[in-house]
Amino acid sequence: MKLLFVADPLEGFKTHKDTTFAMMREAARRGHQLWTCEQSDLVWLRGARVVARGARAITLTGAADDWFNAVTQAELALADVDAVLMRKDPPFDSEYFYATHLLTQAEREGARVFNHPGALRDHPEKLAILEFPQFIAPTLVTRSADAIRAFHAEHQDIILKPLDGMGGMGIFRVGPDGLNLGSITETLNQGGTQTVMVQKYLAEISKGDKRVLVIGGQAVPFSLARIPQGSEIRGNLAVGGKGVAMPLTPREAEIAAALGPILAARGLLLVGLDVIGDCLTEINVTSPTCFQEITEQTGFDVAAMYLTALEAQLQKAAA
């Protein structure tokens, strides 16, 4: 099969931990052709189809640094490949949003895109949890400083975060003393012009912010607990959290079993559920990670599970 990965620049990949690289490596092992492009390469012209200009066919070298060779560069119509894998990392900004519309047009022309671009638009990673209130902590979404103060008065210890953050960016904790609540609120809601998410602080974060991967509606049997280090309240690997693979807890398995089939039916082949304690905190759909960490620590081949699910989806579509 011919696979097109829409991703960030390959030269910046950290191959020892990059999930897209793990997908590519497993795809190459299975004999699939690897093509890559960046989001900025997507082009549509009236009377033509959505293409990736300057798409590169690559082979993997097995080296840590110069890890790929570009063997061909061409203009490639997305409908002419077997699958398009949208692996552009967040943030989900305007350019990402526009790219999903180009990918939707490519689908109209016959392309098969994973994750489904319409589902990417419909599931913003922080707000998607609102559909599943039975699994989440006390949560408020608002622009209102008064509403935030009232939420703090009720719950005492809270977390505030922007809706477009990634990698733990812009996350604040305010304890019972309310210290700096006003200043933090002003910073995040930009004087009432930006919407903020506020949640009750979950002390279980000390045991890790768990990443539960769901592929084709089925949970990977291990999570990656991202454990805050030192005085840090955030477990994100991007800010120094320690990643420890663990078997799923009964609660994590329950959440994955409830959400997995629903999200898969919407075209979300790969989802990363974030769970702290017993509570779902985010639903990651743009470019979920942690394949390599889980595989290295447990021996469970997450990339193989993903490629098997992708191949099954393509065979089903072809039938």
The superfamily CATH assigns to domain 204-318 is ATP-grasp fold, B domain (3.30.470.20)
Compute the distance between CA of residue 254 and CA of residue 248 in angstroms, rounded to an integer. Answer: 10
Q: Which residues are annotated as catalytic?
A: 126, 161, 211, 226, 234, 274, 282, 284
For residue 239, pLDDT beyond 70:
no
Structural fold of domain 2-120: Rossmann fold (3.40.50)
Domains 2-120 and 138-201 share a fold: no
Task: Indicate yes or no: pTM above 0.85.
Answer: yes
Question: Given 3.30.1490.20, 3.30.70.1090, 3.40.630.10, 3.80.30.10, which CATH number is that of 138-201?
Answer: 3.30.1490.20
Least confident among 114-128, 168-182, 233-247, 304-318: 233-247
pLDDT tens-place string over residues 42-63: 999 999 999 999 999 999 999 9
Q: Where are the domains of the chain?
A: 2-120, 138-201, 204-318
For residue 166, pLDDT beyond 90:
no
For residue 168, pLDDT beyond 90:
no
Region 255-271: mean pLDDT is 98
Region 214-240: mean pLDDT is 86
Query: With helix as H, strand as E and coil as C, how does the chain read?
Result: CEEEEECCCHHHCCCCCCHHHHHHHHHHHCCCEEEEECHHHEECCCCCCCEEEEEEEEEECCCCCCCEEEEEEEEEEHHHCCEEEECCCCCCCHHHHHHHHHHHHHHHCCCCEECCHHHHHHCCCCHHHHHCHHHECCEEEECCHHHHHHHHHHHCCEEEEECCCCCCCCCEEECCCCCCHHHHHHHHHCCCCCCEEEEECCHHHHHCEEEEEEECCEECCEEEEEECCCCCCCCCHHHCCEEEEEECCHHHHHHHHHHHHHHHHCCCCEEEEEEECCEEEEEECCCCCCHHHHHHHHCCCHHHHHHHHHHHHHHHHHC
Per-chain mean pLDDT for the chain: 95
Region 268-289: mean pLDDT is 97
pLDDT tens-place string over residues 210-226: 999 999 999 999 999 99
